[in-house]
Amino acid sequence: MAQKNKASVGKQCVACGACIRKCPIGAITVYKGMYAVVDVPKCRGCGACAKHCSANVISIIEVNNEEKILV
Amino acid sequence: MKKKYWYDYLWIVTILYFTLGFFNILFAWLGMIMFILPLLFAIIGGNKLYCNKYCDRSRLFELLGGRFSLNMAPPPFLRSTWFRYGFLAFFLTMFGLMVAYTYQVFTGAPLRETVTLLWTFKLGWSTAGVSSVTPWVAQYAYGFYGVMLTSLVLGLATRVLYRPRSWCVYCPMGTMTQGICKIKHRNDAK
Ligand code: SF4
Ligand code: SF4
Ligand code: SF4
């Protein structure tokens, strides 16, 4: 399967939601006030969230399948 | 262009709050809304919707965006648990001391008509309206305005160096509400 770029949120996410507000397609949300989660199939890997992440914990990684990414 | 929502304009609240408090310190009490609302969202709703959507402060930082800022990625220590919770503990201690002095004024200590910035600098402030209320009500207003102003100044200073919402990384309110959500959903973490 072709590799695709996807956003991946690190453990030290502060759940501020700055990324939500920058994602053009609503592919990232904050899960129950604890941390951000990426809707991996939806994410286009554009990197807008990573560029604006307040804590700098989002990386854009290449994935082979669209299962949930664990970091 | 992303659709604008009503809460995108909440930065007006920040401007209004600090302007009103500049002329009449009693308006500082309105800041209690910004203190209680996020806690209610976290305690009752188990979410950070306040941070995610309705916080006036972060709407202001988003509005300013990367202007007049080096826009660097924040250093890793800022997001570390020890720094975030350490700063929260420090902030709450200073808040507690402010409340303690308010109590002393309630029991007869003299009113201090100053706003303390960054826990150090005492700024002389307008006394308009102060004589119309009991002294402790005015004392709390001076104290609370100091807390709000301190966090605004820190937030603005942080955004000059780092990304627009880097303050949110160690904002005591944000740390506290995330902590509450984590406790509330402790059996639910992915
Ligand atoms: S990489 Fe782009 S599409 Fe994916 S979550 Fe981030 S902003 Fe949204
Ligand atoms: S911007 Fe970064 S720190 Fe804030 S919620 Fe998104 S991933 Fe987490
Ligand atoms: S972390 Fe603080 S400043 Fe940032 S959105 Fe939450 S309450 Fe507002």
Contact (CB, 8 A) for B58 and B10:
no
pLDDT at B1: 55
Ligand 1 atom nearest A7 alpha carbon: 1
* CA angle B71–B77–B78, rounded 5-degree value: 55
Look at ligand 2, atom 1, and give the residue with the nearest C-alpha: A53
What's the gap in Å between B37 CA and the centre of ligand 1?
29
What ipTM does this complex have? 0.90
In the predicted structure, residue A71 carries a pLDDT above the cut 80: no
Helix axes B32-40, B172-184, angle to 10 degrees: 20
Nearest ligand for residue A40 CA: 1
What's the gap in Å between B89 CA and the centre of ligand 2?
22
Query: CA of B101 to nearest chain A CA: how many angstroms apart?
Result: 32
In the predicted structure, residue B89 carries a pLDDT above the cut 60: yes
Greatest pairwise CA separation for chain B in angstroms: 57
CA distance B164 to B175: 17
Q: Which residues contact B73 (CB under 8 A, 6 or more apart)?
A: A56, B162, B163
pLDDT tens digit string along B99-141? 999 999 999 999 999 999 999 999 999 888 899 999 999 999 9
Percent of chain B whose predicted confidence (pLDDT) is above 70:
98
pLDDT tens digit string along B55-71? 999 999 999 998 999 99
Which of B64, B79, B85, B186 is best to mutate for the A interface (most A CBs within 10 A)? B79
pLDDT at A57: 98
Q: Which two tokens stand for residue B62?
A: 């988003």
The pTM of this model reads 0.93
Q: A32 in contact with B at a CB cutoff of 8 Å? A: yes
Helix (H) or strand (E) holding B115: strand B114-117
Domains (range + CATH), chain A: 3-64 (3.30.70.20)
pLDDT at B129: 87
Cβ contact B178–A14 (<8 Å): yes
Query: CA of B109 to nearest chain A CA: how many angstroms apart?
Result: 40
Mean pLDDT of B28-35: 97
pLDDT tens digit string along B139-174? 999 999 999 999 999 999 999 999 999 999 999 999
What's the gap in Å between B173 CA and the centre of ligand 3?
6
